[in-house]
C-alpha cells in the first residue's frame, strides 16, 4: 500500500468537478434504519436514488438517504396526474403520459407518484451529501473519471457516515478506513474508503463484489 501520509505532504488535494462517467443511479446504499425490502426512489432529473419507500397494509413510509423517516402516508386509490419533468418514483417503471414516454416516474407496480412535500426533503438530503466539500488526492480523483472505478460522491459520504471505521491498515495517524456494503447494478459489493480525517480528504477508495 502506498505511503499516503508522504503523498499528502508532497501534493495538493482536489475537489471533484462533478462530471459523472457513469449513472449514479447504479449505486445504492440501504441505511441500517431502513427496513429490508424497501424500494429505491429514483429521481429521473438527478439520475440518482434519493430515498427509499416501504409499505405495510396500505401505509407507506418514506426514508431519505441517511435513513431518516420523512413521511408516513396511505396509498391513494388512483394515480394523480403529474408533471413528468418533476417525476420522482420507485425505480424501474416506464409508462406513457399523453404522448411522452416517462421512465421511472411512478411508484413501482402502483402508478402513484411521490408528493412534492416528500420530494423536497429527499432532494435536499441528496444535495447535502453530494455537494458538501470532500477532497481527493490525485490518484482517487483520477479514478472518479473512470467508469470502472467511479463512485458517486454521496455514496462515498454515506460510507464515511455509516461505514465500519477502523484505523489505517498501515497505522498512519489520522487516517481511517470505512467499509460498507453497497449495491452496484443490483449486485452486492464492499466499498472501502480511506480518509485523512483532519482534511476530509479521500486518499483511496475501491469496491469489490461480495462472493457468496
What is the pLDDT at residue 201? Answer: 94
What is the pLDDT at residue 3? Answer: 63
What is the pLDDT at residue 116? Answer: 76
What is the pLDDT at residue 57? Answer: 82
What is the pLDDT at residue 43? Answer: 86
pTM of the model: 0.81
What is the pLDDT at residue 100? Answer: 32
What is the pLDDT at residue 7? Answer: 63
What is the pLDDT at residue 17? Answer: 87
Give the residues of the chain that fall short of pLDDT 70.
1-10, 75-113
What is the pLDDT at residue 83? Answer: 43
Mapped to the 3 state alphabet, what secondary structure does the chain carry? Answer: CCCHHHHHHHCCCEECCCCCCCCHHHEECCCCCCCCCCEEEEECCCCEEEEEEEEECCEEEEEECCCCEEEEEECCCCCCCCCHHHCEEECCCEEEECCEEEECCCCCCCCCCCCHHHHHHHHHHHHHHHHCCCEECHHHHHHCCCCCCCCCHHHHHHHHHHCEEEECCCCCCCEEEEEEEEEECCEEEEEEEEEECCCCEEEEEEEEECCC
Amino acid at each position: 500500500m502506498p505511503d499516503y501520509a508522504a503523498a499528502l505532504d508532497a501534493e495538493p488535494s482536489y475537489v471533484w468537478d462533478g462530471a459523472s462517467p457513469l449513472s449514479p443511479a447504479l449505486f445504492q446504499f440501504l441505511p441500517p434504519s431502513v427496513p429490508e425490502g424497501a424500494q429505491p426512489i429514483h429521481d429521473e432529473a438527478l439520475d440518482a436514488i434519493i430515498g427509499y419507500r416501504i409499505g405495510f397494509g396500505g401505509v407507506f413510509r418514506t426514508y431519505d438517504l441517511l435513513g431518516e423517516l420523512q413521511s408516513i402516508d396511505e396509498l391513494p386509490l388512483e394515480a394523480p396526474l403529474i408533471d413528468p419533468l418533476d417525476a420522482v418514483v420507485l425505480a424501474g417503471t416506464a409508462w406513457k403520459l399523453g404522448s411522452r414516454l416517462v421512465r421511472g416516474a411512478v411508484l413501482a407496480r402502483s402508478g402513484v407518484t411521490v408528493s412534492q412535500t416528500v420530494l423536497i426533503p429527499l432532494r435536499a438530503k441528496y444535495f447535502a451529501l453530494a455537494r458538501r466539500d470532500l477532497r481527493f488526492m490525485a490518484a482517487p480523483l483520477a479514478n472518479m473519471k473512470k467508469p470502472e472505478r467511479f463512485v458517486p460522491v454521496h455514496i462515498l459520504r454515506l460510507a464515511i457516515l455509516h461505514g465500519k471505521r477502523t484505523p489505517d491498515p498501515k497505522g498512519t495517524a489520522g487516517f481511517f478506513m470505512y467499509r460498507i456494503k453497497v449495491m452496484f447494478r443490483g449486485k452486492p459489493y464492499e466499498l472501502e474508503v480511506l480518509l485523512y480525517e483532519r482534511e476530509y480528504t479521500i486518499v483511496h477508495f475501491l469496491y469489490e463484489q461480495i462472493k457468496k
